[in-house]
Amino acid sequence: MSKKLKKLRVSIGVTSYNEEQNIEKLLHSLLTQKLKSAIITEILVISSGSTDSTDKIVKKIRRRNSKIKLIQQKKRIGKASAVNLFISSAKEDVVILSSADILIPNDTIDKITRPLRERDIGIVGSHPVPVNDPNSFFGFAAHLMWGLHHQISLTSPKMGEFIAFRKIFKQIPLTSSVDEASIEALIRGQGYIAVYAPKAIIYNKGAENFKEFIERRRHIYAGHLETK
């Protein structure tokens, strides 16, 4: 009989700004995960200058579940700052970084952490799926683009809005606008491998108009140039 593998202890960080419409759904999906290879020991919500009901909702959920912790930043000073605050606050060596505007199926945590059982793997990317209507112009564009990202990631892994990685660095550059790419570079630079978990699904929403589409692509492209 094979020896039972020890479960990975995981800290989850959720970076948030004015996400009152989605934060409760996301936290519920994190708290109801079906886990075989991991244990979620804490979920840290980094709320950066939120002015809506985000903090109030997180506090309400925290009263019912002690795994939830709220870390408030008085001002919104960039996602990189929130990411660094999470990294410095997380107690586990394996961490998951999540945007607050996504939803995940109940087996995603298990599927994204499983590759980290291999000692040479340092970071794992998820498989984002758009919730946009594919029959609309920008919905079609979102499904096409993310479908291409999926195909590329099968051979050359792309990190995105939901990643699992080893906490083997102290911080990313505060000027970074593509935190996942910065994290990947720091981990690859220490000799670890980046992999893609195609069955670790997350649901997200793509751009819905031309202005939003251009702004997102320009922001991401400029961030990748800086990281490179």
Residue with tokens 């112009």: 137
Alpha carbons 71 and 85: distance in angstroms, whole number: 9
Alpha carbons 166 and 204: distance in angstroms, whole number: 24
pLDDT confidence band for 2 (50 / 70 / 90)? very low
Q: Which 3 state secondary structure label does DSSP give 211?
A: helix
The pTM for the full model equals 0.88
In this predicted structure, what is the pLDDT of residue 205? 82
User: Token digits for 152?
Assistant: 């590329």
What is the DSSP code (8-state) at residue 2? P
List, for residues 26-53, the tens digit of each pLDDT value: 999 999 999 998 999 999 999 999 999 9
List, for residues 152-209, the tens digit of each pLDDT value: 999 999 888 899 999 999 999 887 666 788 899 999 999 999 999 999 999 988 767 7
Alpha carbons 164 and 97: distance in angstroms, whole number: 6
Alpha carbons 152 and 145: distance in angstroms, whole number: 11
Q: What is the average pLDDT across 105-127? A: 96
Residue with tokens 């209507």: 133
